[in-house]
Amino acid sequence: MLFKIPRLYDSHTHFIATGEFASGLYLTALKNAEEIAQWDLSKPSYHRGDWLLGFGWNDKDWSVKPSKEILDRLFPHKPVYFAKGDGHSSWVNTAALQALGLRSETGILTEAEHLQSWDRLPAFSNEQQKNNILAACQVYNSAGFTHVRDMTGTESLWNSLCELESENLLTVALEENFTCYDLKGFEDSLKSAQYTRKHETALLRSKGVKFFYDGSLGSETAYLSKPYRGIPNGNRGRTLWSLPDVEVMIKRTWEAGLEISVHAIGDQAAHEMVEVARKVSAQGFVGRLNLEHAQVLRPETILMMKPLHVRCHMQPCHWLSDRVWLQEKLRDLYRYAFPWEALRAAQIPMSFGCDSPVEPPSFVRNQKALVESVEARIKKFTGSIEEVHAHPDSQYAPNSYSIIEDDVVKEVVFCGKRLV
């Protein structure tokens, strides 16, 4: 099959993390905690400040488990921080514990300690940040993408992107959103979005603010209208914001002429977000609501979207990873899972993406998911994948297209210049 797609767009990505993962130290191949002694860990891109950083280890089958002693022997003075592949823990040495002001018998940090210490790692240098951006561009371009919507922007990233664009080195058109976790963070994100909006360039656009309303189906924290696995009075997931706070954020973001984007995976999460958007609209405010993931949507929720400015950003490739347990977890709600056909039929605008680095950026995998999910009773998408994978604005970085033939990226042209 041959696809020629204009402005091939990944509508939900974590841009800089994709670059960091591409140029950073991957520990997935590590077969044993002791084996780390044989690895070459000297590359500058493996470091942040004087810290050594790695990702992706999994000790399930290791005969020697990770411990701080192993790292202390190799690195008595340099702080070392190795994040586990599941994203819930990290393996550190004594120098790192001292720098973080933490104690641990084992050198394994979990959950809150793991996440908080991640936030306290030294920042990348300006040069490292630029190299990570270029590494990310390379990842997206080689997968065929010329247009990317980033969910995790910062002002410092924006400034580096501007520098690279002025040096003619930026090979993707990038939309930025600024994520917040509480109301104070919201004010900062709104300010960043407003500041960058004033400094937009030919390739860089500032879109607005993003927040997480619920969790994920995998961890059974996405917010559903019925309990997981059909267990009577069982867990239905959780939400992270109060509805009055959400209302304030939507109002303020729309008033500023910006878009609000919300991570809403469960059907009840999406329903409540659309309800609040409707309430704010009824008060005379106009703006766009982006529903991120939207993996389960009830028909009445889709109906309620129609008069509003809603765009759903879906990642069919998540279905490839979720397919093994999706029916068992959702039971009655399974018929509303991955509702791309229902959205198309209701003419709700939608865009496809890959949520990199959670999944690799890949048009081919999304296409595969659309085909294979039909056998699992996900309603067949009768729209055009080229259309939902193209950036909707033909004036944005025009003269860009990609040719993908038999699952291979054959040609990528960005602003008239051939990249692949």
Burial of 383 (0-12, 13-18, 19+ CB in 10 A): middle
Candidates 70-78, 223-231, 267-275, 352-360: pick the segment binding Zn ion (CB under 5 A).
352-360
Residue type, 26: Y
* Contact between residue 302 and residue 339 where contact means Cβ atoms under 8 Å apart: yes
Give the nearest distance from C-beta 313 to Zn ion in angstroms: 9
Pairwise CA distance, residues 412 & 400, whole Å: 8
Task: At 92, give phi and psi (nearest 5°).
Answer: -130, 165
Give the nearest distance from C-beta 152 to Zn ion in angstroms: 8
Q: Based on the shown chain and the rule CB under 5 A, indicate whether residue 10 belongs to the binding site for Zn ion.
A: no
Residue with smaller CB distance to Zn ion, 45 or 152: 152
| Among candidate residues 113, 164, 166, the one with its CA nearest the CA of residue 137 | 164
Residues between 86 and 115 that touch Zn ion (CB under 5 A): none
Give the nearest distance from C-beta 326 to Zn ion in angstroms: 18
| Binding residues for Zn ion, total number by CB under 5 A | 1
Give the nearest distance from C-beta 217 to Zn ion in angstroms: 14
Tell me the residue length of the chain.
Answer: 420
When CB distances to Zn ion are compared, the closest residue is 355
Residue with smaller CB distance to Zn ion, 267 or 292: 292
Give the nearest distance from C-beta 356 to Zn ion in angstroms: 9
Give the nearest distance from C-beta 32 to Zn ion in angstroms: 32
Give the nearest distance from C-beta 215 to Zn ion in angstroms: 12
Residue with smaller CB distance to Zn ion, 267 or 355: 355
Contacts of 342 (CB under 8 A, 6+ apart): 297, 299, 302, 336, 379
Pairwise CA distance, residues 143 & 361, whole Å: 6
Residue with smaller CB distance to Zn ion, 214 or 355: 355
Q: What x/- string results for residues 312 through 351 when contact with Zn ion is judged by CB under 5 A?
A: ----------------------------------------
Residue with smaller CB distance to Zn ion, 246 or 264: 264
Taking phi over 0 as left and psi of -120 to 50 as alpha, with beta for the rest, 198 belongs to alpha
Candidates 50-58, 337-345, 354-362, 371-379: pick the segment binding Zn ion (CB under 5 A).
354-362
Cα 217-182-158 angle, rounded to 5 deg = 90
DSSP string, 337-399: BS-HHHHHHTT--EEE---TTTS---HHHHHHHHHHGGGGTPPPP-S-HHHHTB-S-TTSS-S
Handedness of CA 33, 34, 37, 38 (dihedral sign): negative
Handedness of CA 268, 272, 388, 16 (dihedral sign): negative
Residue with smaller CB distance to Zn ion, 193 or 412: 193
Residue with smaller CB distance to Zn ion, 13 or 373: 13
Give the nearest distance from C-beta 178 to Zn ion in angstroms: 14
Where helices occur in 15-67 by DSSP H, the ranges are 15-23
Residue with smaller CB distance to Zn ion, 30 or 150: 150
Give the nearest distance from C-beta 14 to Zn ion in angstroms: 6
Residue from 220, 267, 355, 359 that binds Zn ion (CB under 5 A)? Answer: 355
Give the nearest distance from C-beta 315 to Zn ion in angstroms: 8
- What is the gyration radius of the CA atoms in the chain, in angstroms? 22
Residue with smaller CB distance to Zn ion, 75 or 118: 118
DSSP 296: B
Give the nearest distance from C-beta 353 to Zn ion in angstroms: 9
Candidates 16-24, 96-104, 316-324, 353-361: pick the segment binding Zn ion (CB under 5 A).
353-361
Residue with smaller CB distance to Zn ion, 220 or 355: 355
Burial of 243 (0-12, 13-18, 19+ CB in 10 A): middle
Pairwise CA distance, residues 289 & 261, whole Å: 6
Residue with smaller CB distance to Zn ion, 171 or 315: 315
DSSP 60: T
User: Could you list the residues that contact Zn ion (CB under 5 A)?
Assistant: 355
